[in-house]
Amino acid sequence: MERTFREQLFVLLLSLSVLKGDCRYMENNEISKDELYSFFNSELKREAPEELMFRRPLRCLDMIAVEGRFTFTAERPQLSCAAFFIAEPNEVITVDYDGVDIDCSGGDFITVFDGWVMKGEKFPSSQDHPLPLYERYVDYCDSGSLRRSVRSSQNVAMVFFRVHNPGSTFTLTVRKHINPFPCNVISQSPEGAYTMVIPQQHRNCSFSIIYPVEIDISEFSLGQINHFTKRSRPACAETGDFVQLLGGNGIDTSKLLPITDLCVSFTGPTHLKVGCDNTVVRVVSSGKFVSRVSFSYRLLDSQELQTIKLNNVEDFCFNN
């Protein structure tokens, strides 16, 4: 199994729990009382003026789940940095740059990506994103002062950067905004419940849980094409809209493997333990119907994972 993907996530999720104020980690972090105070202020007032926003330095590898101002200042050349941003499922993120002092002509860059990239895989996958791939990258050096603000299409975004000269600096202001029609989502938490609704749009939406989980599909209502009277069990893909449950170890949903399909003719279990690093509920929508699926999920403990491993030798998440 690919260890690095999970290890990388654990590092990021650990820093995420620091930012979310998990008390187990509060003692050892770098957040000062002043910063905490301004953080509470910005939580109280969502469109906080800049002087009241949470502030802290940006690290070369970082995970950010709160609004605020994050300043990177290089002490030495940093050639491969990435900051991951995540918001609630029904939010999108804006990233604004200011105070940028980098050497574009010397090969420095700051690039915002509309989604996440991990180990060369993208979320949302190119198939499921409304924009062509090249429009999902916005580079500071290419667009200069023309585009100082970038808005994500879903609850995750990221920034890649490279600076060569000590003293190079920039500040990112991260804000969250309500998204009335969330389509693609990465869950912040290994536990929760969610209802995906696609309102008569010809698009496919994915809810990605980057943990091994038990998932319980409690309800779904999917449009169906009603001309299957002669065939009793048509394949899901032929019946109209359907739900795919996918699993695998990367974040690109188009490279994950199908665990099961759910549609009008579905009769199998709706309660499944998936020992993969990534479990995805994907709705394939024709645009002719309003489709809805509700599910809940919780983290598998190590004993459950071990049992899955022993019982299902063919489980594709444990094959290598």
Ligand X SMILES: *[C@@H]1O[C@H](CO)[C@@H](O)[C@H](O)[C@H]1NC(C)=O
What is the smallest separation between the CB atom of 115 and ligand X, expressed in angstroms? 16
Distance separating alpha carbons of residues 206 and 229, to the nearest angstrom: 30
Instruction: Name which of 33 and 202 has its Cβ closer to ligand X.
Output: 202
Instruction: Name which of 138 and 284 has its Cβ closer to ligand X.
Output: 284
What is the smallest separation between the CB atom of 261 and ligand X, expressed in angstroms? 10
Residue 95 CB coordination number (10 Å): 25
What is the signed CA dihedral for 203, 191, 250, 89, rounded to 10 degrees? 40
Phi-psi region of 231 (alpha: psi -120 to 50; beta: other; left: phi over 0): beta
Distance separating alpha carbons of residues 14 and 246, to the nearest angstrom: 26
Question: Phi/psi at 48 (nearest 5 deg)?
Answer: -65, 140
Instruction: Name which of 174 and 284 has its Cβ closer to ligand X.
Output: 284
The owner of tokens 């065939």 is: 231
Instruction: Name which of 262 and 300 has its Cβ closer to ligand X.
Output: 262
For CA atoms 223, 227, 229, 230, give the dihedral sign. Answer: negative
Instruction: Name which of 61 and 197 has its Cβ closer to ligand X.
Output: 197
Instruction: Name which of 140 and 242 has its Cβ closer to ligand X.
Output: 242
SS3 (DSSP) at 297: strand
Q: Which residue is closest to ligand X by CB?
A: 204
What is the smallest separation between the CB atom of 133 and ligand X, expressed in angstroms? 14
Distance separating alpha carbons of residues 23 and 245, to the nearest angstrom: 34
What is the smallest separation between the CB atom of 39 and ligand X, expressed in angstroms? 39
Question: Phi/psi at 16 (nearest 5 deg)?
Answer: -65, -45
Residues that bind ligand X (CB under 6 A): 127, 202-204, 284
Could you write out the DSSP letters of every residue in 170-199? EEEEEEEEE-SS--SEE-SSSSEEEEEEEE
